[in-house]
Structure 1
């Protein structure tokens, strides 16, 4: 046993490091876990790039919005999967924005938007704190951050033909979706979002209401993945009883895995949803 481990001395983490994400080496902060997550969990974060590739069977050319782009790891995985569609990477945390902009020099057809997204366009009391590859809001920081609705961002920048919207923002996902309902109604993208009961309840969210809002906009089919990226099940999002059971299962992080990723399809893409489900079922078979 090494002396450092014997004495309980933690190795000092470097301020920055290079991490391997798919086919690319990205700049990350020293405590970022993405490389280990990908190394030790063979399905982790690989589902979204596959879905992005499946979409090309119906939409040969389309746009992708990546909300919570972090250091650009989702972009790297999508590009590693051979998807060359234009990506709009949205990130508000200054530490990650700096690394994101540097990493995006590796790729073509990526536009970076430096902003937080939310339910309304306004100034919000609080600042961000970076921990373990993510950022959390500290409402007692004595500062403010600018928050923008995706509806407004899309209109101001004329974002058209967006067919994949990914949101991973540690509990702010529903707020961002509610600030995107006009955009979603117009463009009907496939939506892929993190579904974490603990983070949602920290934001005072009802864990199942968003599915009714999406159903009212014509969304029908949902695929649920565990947080390690493995397909769990599919259902129609008006199946409130099953969604409630799924939500209760992950509350307090006392289950076999701590959260889900959910991919939902508009009824206009029902054929695409069936194709994706068949391909994903075959993949995991």
Structure 2
């Protein structure tokens, strides 16, 4: 039986602030944590998003009342067990809430397409980070390949999959325009901001806590040709390197024509991506309106950062 008290808390800014001040000790004790977790399961997708926004970072600066345990959820018909590790509380708690609460429009799209007659058979997760997107697809029996060059992500990636009796397919390389090598830069506790785009390093990542590591680059064309694997759906989140990923996928875009979920933040990046996808007869959509493609001006001036693109011979078969 799910307890709906979190629904009432999230409706009130005063109650939300009160819970923010007191939630750590509640999480620290097994019984109260179970009650919170049970109530969390009753939340709607939008309420899970709000819960993530308000509570995901509570252990970032202070790990008091940290615990070893799990946070349990459901995605479609599958139970999710997210391991929580005391020594990495800032990461594992945030990752657990991010599973269903972050990038909500993308997660709802995933659920729709997984329920559709066009359910993907092969998913490429480019910039997989800790594997939360990869996990959702693999939990539904979709063959999944996770491209992630940052070794700092692998421990929790493997813990998440092991807790759910799954085995990840981690490709420990970055993806770009041509095979080679590069330097991946990322803030110490924000691996998801990792990039090999020099312009992003020079502008967005002007920080004192940057870590730099050498990584190998492959291309989607190289990978698909070497292993004979062709994706139906690709997610690209590479912090400004998306156009390079697409540039290294000429044969994939031309012949396989996968659906592409991607992030883009700047007008210049959007312009390059629009031109590249248009060359392959792709249209770009916002998740809120999958029936009407964006023109160049609307896309480049959009305040959104997440988009989906589909070849014009196909239809995005979702209910949203």
TM-score by length of 1: 0.70
**Matches of 2:68 and 2:152, distance apart in 1:** 11
The structure richer in strand per residue is 1
| Equivalent residues of 1:122, 1:146 under 8 A apart | yes
Alignment match of 1:58 (pick from 99, 118, 132)? 118
Q: Trace 1:126-275 onto structure 2 (pairs within 5 A).
A: 126-132=184-190, 134-137=192-195, 143-160=213-230, 162-197=231-266, 205-220=268-283, 222-225=284-287, 231=288, 234-237=291-294, 239-246=295-302, 250=303, 259-269=304-314, 272-273=315-316, 275=317
- Shift of the 135–31 alpha-carbon distance from structure 1 to 2, 3 Å rule, reads farther
**Matches of 2:122 and 2:100, distance apart in 1:** 29
- Shift of the 65–116 alpha-carbon distance from structure 1 to 2, 3 Å rule, reads same
**Matches of 1:232 and 1:68, distance apart in 2:** 25
**Matches of 2:175 and 2:262, distance apart in 1:** 14
1:111 aligns with 2:111: no
Aligned length: 242
1:97 aligns with 2:142: no
Report 1 or 2 for greater relative contact order, CA contacts < 8 Å, sequence distance ≥ 6.
1
After superposition, give the CA deviation of every residue in 1:72-110 in whole Å (9 maximum; x if it has no partner).
211333356xx3221112211101123223433335575
Tell me, what secondary structure is at the counterpart of 2:90? coil
**Matches of 1:172 and 1:42, distance apart in 2:** 19
| Equivalent residues of 2:195, 2:239 under 8 A apart | no
- Shift of the 40–218 alpha-carbon distance from structure 1 to 2, 3 Å rule, reads closer
**Matches of 1:95 and 1:194, distance apart in 2:** 22
Tell me, what secondary structure is at the counterpart of 2:232? strand
In the alignment, structure 1 segments of 5+ residues that lack a partner are 3-9, 226-230, 251-258, 281-285
**Matches of 1:17 and 1:92, distance apart in 2:** 28
The structure richer in helix per residue is 2
**Matches of 2:228 and 2:245, distance apart in 1:** 18
